[in-house]
Amino acid sequence: MIFWIVLGVTAALAALWIAWPFLRSTTFELTGAEGAISIYRDQMDEVERDLKAGLISQSESDAALAEIERRALHAARSLDQGMAVSQRSGLAALALTAASALAAVGLYMALGSSGAPDQPLAARKTEILTRQADAGDVQSRIQLLIERTSENPDSFDDWWTLARAHAMIGDHTASAEAYRHAAEIAGDMPEVQSAYAEAMTLANGNKVPTAARVIFEQLVRNTDDARAHYYLALAKAQAQDFEGALAGWAALARASAPDAPWMPLVRRDIVNMARFIETDVLDYLPDATPQEIAQSGGDPGTALLPPLETAETLEQRLAEDPKDFKSWIELADLRSRAGDAEGAADALAQARQHFAGAPFVLQKIAEAERALGLDLVAAGPRGPTASDMAAASQMSEDDRADMIDGMVAGLAARLKEQPRDLDGWVMLVRSYSTLGRAEKARDAYETALLVFKDDQTALGVLRNSAGALIGN
């Protein structure tokens, strides 16, 4: 009953609003001629004010007034004279009101549903997201999964599905966080732990962080998880143990079926690392194809055709048109095939400068960097390694201290330019702590917390690793 009362009042008000112009009493309105003349009067008043203020001379005032009067007389002769009259029209008002009411009632009877219960905004939003998700929209599906995990935070299936959905669109930071929840619920389930550690690695720019390495090491001790073997070898490469990385990937290749889904990636990294340390790829990959042998810097025989372009012609073309990102990638590939890893990395670095505002192109450049193996070696100094310390043991105490100070200073300088290196920050804090520089260690730790303030996974690693070194 209340609904119909509200509907009736609303209809009455709408009808009154429509009919009002026809129900007003007789009115008189100025026509266009009178309106135009009033404008000229205002102009004449403005000229007189300017004359009194001394802004114009008397002659200029007389000339302006004469011109305004001429225009006013012309307007008076050209436009209609008199008043416009508006009168009541009750019949028209009644007709319009009736037509509007009938149209509204008819439309509501056809489309409305007065007996339907109210639908909350949240329910309508969920319904819309569900339709969009069913139509294949991944973002809508992710939003639905986020709502489900909020409502039921102990559901492993929901967290697992959300993590995979985030990974599908390349949001590895969010994926790692969702995998973390799934891992906490699932316990020591190897598949979940492995996926979580991989997501942490991808969120860290494909650099294996300390927390992920610990998980992979546990998996290798207890299972034959191929992913763990792969990333442990990658961690060795990033720690500059290149032969250890090659041996790890070669062992994984020998233990895997030729058609295993990870084999293309493993073979690629074996080839790239063999080229980097200038060793024979056949020692690690006996069934290497002629193309893989050529990519590793070996002699492929006559099985391969020569490249269509040389590095020199590409360099000339890019000097004229540096906005061709495919040519930059091709140049990096040619330089890499020639054994010039530094030149290949420089080509991709120049490409990044030219396409700094193009996320899609930057993603393609990063993919090319990984495909060429240029991501296997961390750029710049990373602090003292085991071989560095062995060499330092043969030095005098002063020389040894200078060498270590130089390495730590180099690491700190690199982190200022490339701050998104989680392992680098942990190493810097550890180095300062070992050297007894507590204040610098704490400053580095706090700076790292600011760098990764939006990455909960990285913050957890920092607090567990670097934080423990300074007593936090």
Report mean pLDDT in 10-residue bins for the chain, 472 residues. Answer: 64 66 54 59 78 78 78 63 52 65 67 56 59 68 84 90 86 90 90 93 87 92 93 90 92 92 90 86 89 74 46 82 83 77 83 74 78 58 48 59 69 80 82 84 89 79 74 68
Map tokens 């372009």 to a residue.
309
Q: Using alpha carbons only, what angle is made at residue 369 by residues 373 and 347, rounded to the nearest 5 degrees?
A: 115
pLDDT of residue 232: 95
Query: What is the full DSSP assignment across 246-315?
Result: HHHHHHHHHHS-TT-TTHHHHHHHHHHHHHHTT--GGGT-TT--HHHHHHTTS--TTSSPPPSS-HHHHH
Each domain of the chain, given as residue ranges in start order, spans: 2-111, 123-295, 311-356, 386-469
Chain centroid, CA 413 distance in Å? 27
Cβ–Cβ under 8 Å, residues 431 and 470 = no
- CA–CA separation, 441 and 105 (whole Å): 76
pLDDT of residue 307: 44
Map tokens 């989680």 to a residue.
422
- CA–CA separation, 75 and 33 (whole Å): 7
pLDDT of residue 231: 94
Query: What is the full DSSP assignment across 123-181?
Result: HHHHHHHHHHHHTT-HHHHHHHHHHHHHH-TT-HHHHHHHHHHHHHTT-HHHHHHHHHH
Query: How many CB atoms are closer than 10 A to CB 351?
Result: 27
- Expressed in angstroms, the distance from the first to the final Cα of the chain is 67
| Closest listed residue to residue 384, CA positions, set 400, 397, 361, 368 | 400
- CA–CA separation, 130 and 153 (whole Å): 20
Give me the torsion for CA of 41, 42, 46, 47, rounded to 10°: -20
Map tokens 């009042």 to a residue.
9
- CA–CA separation, 61 and 445 (whole Å): 78
pLDDT of residue 305: 37
| Closest listed residue to residue 323, CA positions, set 302, 344, 353 | 353
| Closest listed residue to residue 18, CA positions, set 144, 124, 103 | 103
Per-residue CA distances from 21 to 16, 99, 135, 138, 458 (Å): 9, 16, 49, 53, 69
| Closest listed residue to residue 207, CA positions, set 426, 463, 454, 434 | 426
- CA–CA separation, 151 and 404 (whole Å): 53
Give me the torsion for CA of 9, 10, 15, 21, rounded to 10°: 110
| Closest listed residue to residue 144, CA positions, set 121, 126, 159 | 126
Task: Reply yes or no on domain 123-295 having CATH 3.10.20.10.
Answer: no
| Closest listed residue to residue 155, CA positions, set 176, 177, 181, 191 | 181
pTM, full prediction: 0.48
Amino acid letter at 377? V
CATH of 386-469, one of 3.30.70, 1.25.40, 3.30.110, 1.10.150: 1.25.40
Q: Using alpha carbons only, what angle is made at residue 374 by residues 368 and 380, rounded to the nearest 5 degrees?
A: 135
pLDDT of residue 303: 39
pLDDT of residue 425: 85
User: Do 123-295 and 386-469 show the same overall fold?
Assistant: yes
pLDDT of residue 402: 62
Cβ–Cβ under 8 Å, residues 201 and 457 = no
Q: Using alpha carbons only, what angle is made at residue 369 by residues 239 and 201, rounded to the nearest 5 degrees?
A: 50
For 186, the token pair is 């699932």
For 272, the token pair is 């790239």
